[in-house]
Chains A and B, each alone.
Chain A
């Protein structure tokens, strides 16, 4: 809550003409903004471009920001929409892990290191649609409520909950496929 008040004070200063103060808001929210864009676009360079465009859009529309709402949620929604628009123009394709990468008899228990786990999770996430991918990522970052995730992705909170459940189940199945139907027991 104090962060929200602090945000409003920073916004007031930006609106009063202190452009440099906006850098504080950017510093505060850039990692989440970038993560959301990355989940939609899957290319770091494109994600940075989308996040920057979103911050600029937010800056130019700062006077229209509803002060009753949370700035972060409003900003992340702009990021999500900007990234989705950019994705349409770029026709981003997600790269799956090739079948050959996981050899038959792959011993998951011994060889699946942390970096591999992340890679496999990324590959599994890549097979979900962008709204589910963003919702699932935000859910596990554990800073936003289901309502806020819904506001960002344009879905009601109940729908978000159901979609996160389904996305996890689908992800579990995708992981099984990726690991050549080996058990997920690591």
Chain B
């Protein structure tokens, strides 16, 4: 058996984790192996020294100092919810306005002629085809994106705090 394996067995013996058979085997070996016995004494001494270890105490004013710091930085439980709700209302208002504008057809047939935008000089012969800018699709994408953001905000600011509060009350 290697030295490291012996050490592990000795530590498990000291921790009281060695089973009865292994303990008997170890005790037999200890009777005839002086090196192993010396190593056990070393580890036993270390074990005793470490066992006398107790938790350290912080300075006497630790808790008071901590509570003073907490009073300077109170838990911002209501402020983020209020801000989140305001943001949620803003997003929903934007979605409503965009939907209204879409429904009255303000973004229908939006077209950009790149020739007239980029080349005002006739000397430039090359022409660029006119590009159809589909404003309706773009606004639809923006509306969907806003709805996804609104859903996350609703979850964070309303649903999750509400369910957490309910689970605490039911506890």
Contact = CB atoms under 8 A, between A and B. Distances in A.
Interface of A: 8, 12, 15, 17, 19-20, 22-23, 26-27, 30-32, 34-35, 38, 44, 47-48, 51-52, 55-56, 59-60, 62-63, 67, 114, 117-118, 121, 136-137, 140-141, 165, 168-169, 171-172, 175-176, 183-186
A97 B47 CA distance: 21
Contacts of A8: 171
A52 B43 contact: no
Interface string B88-125: 00000000000000000000000000000000000000
Given A12-B171, A35-B56, A56 B67 contact: no
Interface in B43-66: 43, 45-47, 49-59, 62-63, 65-66
Contacts of B28: none
Interface stretch (B19-27, B70-78, B132-140, B144-152): B70-78
A186 B45 contact: yes
A94 to B, nearest CB: 16
Contacts of B71: 19
Given A38-B56, A140-B51, A59 B70 contact: yes
Contacts of B62: 26, 30, 34, 48, 51-52
Which secondary structure characterizes the binding site on chain A?
helix
A18 to B, nearest CB: 11
A55 B56 contact: no
Q: Most A CB atoms within 10 A — which of B4, B47, B67?
A: B67
Interface of B: 4, 7-8, 11, 38, 41-43, 45-47, 49-59, 62-63, 65-67, 69-71, 73-75, 77, 161, 164, 167-168, 171
Contacts of B66: 23, 26, 52, 55-56
Nearest to B164: A63
B58 A31 contact: yes
A183 B40 CA distance: 12
Given A23-B67, A184-B46, A185-B41, A56 B54 contact: no
B45 A31 contact: no
Contacts of A169: 4, 7, 11, 43
Contact of A19 (B38, B45, B56, B75): B75
Contacts of B45: 184-186
B28 to A, nearest CB: 23
Contacts of B52: 114
Nearest to B56: A35
